Amino acid sequence: MERRPVPALAGLVSSAWTQRIASDAAPYAHRSIPTGGVELRCRLGSVPQLVGPLTRARIEPLAPGSTVVGLRFPPGVAAAVLGVPASELVDLVVDADMLWGPEAATAGARMAEAASPGRAGAILRGLVAGRLADAERPDPVVAEAVRRLMPWCAEDVAGVRSSLAVSERSLRRQCRAAIGVGPKALQRILRFQGLLARAQYAVSRGRPAAGDGLALLAAASGYADQAHLTRECVRLTGVTPRVFLRETEQACSHGHDHEASYAPLLRRPA
């Protein structure tokens, strides 16, 4: 289940989520894929962890009875709160206390004792809110580059660089520090996230994740053809589009609400 962030974290956090595995269920293999952002999560009973920017899929088993709560930061935002460049966390999962000290471990202990996942999520939000006073403002150049590379805008990287009046080297350096990847890699990630958003929206309306077929879905999502989509899907998720969309359909058809994630990728903000 995903939700929009509380007002105090709006603009910094894109969504808050809870994942629960029933105690009588089989172990669940959770596939995390690149989003361009960073996640702060906590499996109740453990220390909160930071999942750095991903460039490839990460598969993690979740045991029956597990509850995980998390916050997702959009591209270019988390570095201001992390205290280190996002490039230092690419494809890494680190305990939050390694960066934030005892306050993260204390938050983890309080979350383990929380009476409900909702209360645990509130503690995690408090951990982030407590760091805002000392956080630097996100890089405005990177923020505008991200906006222009969103699926509903879909400018090419050269056009973005020209409109921002920065050199190729400068934009790459700023993006890697704030996001963890360069602008071209981010464009590929956001394009695929746009495809996932279309699939999640379709499932939420009772339709197949692939819509009217992979070829049409590929074209609507900005891919040159179905083969282009297949290459990018395997690169980012580790599986073919048919396998990935089948997993998406199975996960989203069980009452899971992902609108907080997919809505910003489908339309321009008001």
Give the list of residues 6+ apart from residue 7 with CB closer than 8 angstroms, or none. none
Residue type, 93: V
Q: What is the pTM of this model?
A: 0.91
Rounded CA separation 37/150 (Å) = 13
Q: Average pLDDT for residues 55-71, to the nearest whole number?
A: 94
Confidence (pLDDT) at 91: 97
Q: Average pLDDT for residues 86-98, to the nearest whole number?
A: 95
Sheet holding 93-95, edge to edge: 2-3, 15-20, 67-73, 38-43, 49-51, 93-95
Q: Average pLDDT for residues 170-176, to the nearest whole number?
A: 96
270 band by pLDDT with thresholds 50, 70 and 90: very low
Q: Average pLDDT for residues 188-215, to the nearest whole number?
A: 92
Confidence (pLDDT) at 82: 85
255 band by pLDDT with thresholds 50, 70 and 90: low
Confidence (pLDDT) at 132: 78
268 band by pLDDT with thresholds 50, 70 and 90: low
Fold topology of 2-134: Jelly Rolls (2.60.120)
Element spanning 68, H or E? strand 67-73
Environment class of 173 (CB within 10 Å of its CB; exposed 0-12, middle 13-18, buried 19+)? middle
pLDDT tens digits, one per residue of 94-137: 999 999 999 999 999 999 999 899 999 999 999 998 887 777 78
- The full set of domain ranges for the chain reads 2-134, 140-182, 184-266
79 band by pLDDT with thresholds 50, 70 and 90: confident
254 band by pLDDT with thresholds 50, 70 and 90: low
Q: Is the pLDDT of residue 214 over 60?
A: yes
Which is higher by pLDDT, 152 or 268?
152
Q: Average pLDDT for residues 29-36, to the nearest whole number?
A: 93
Element spanning 163, H or E? helix 157-164
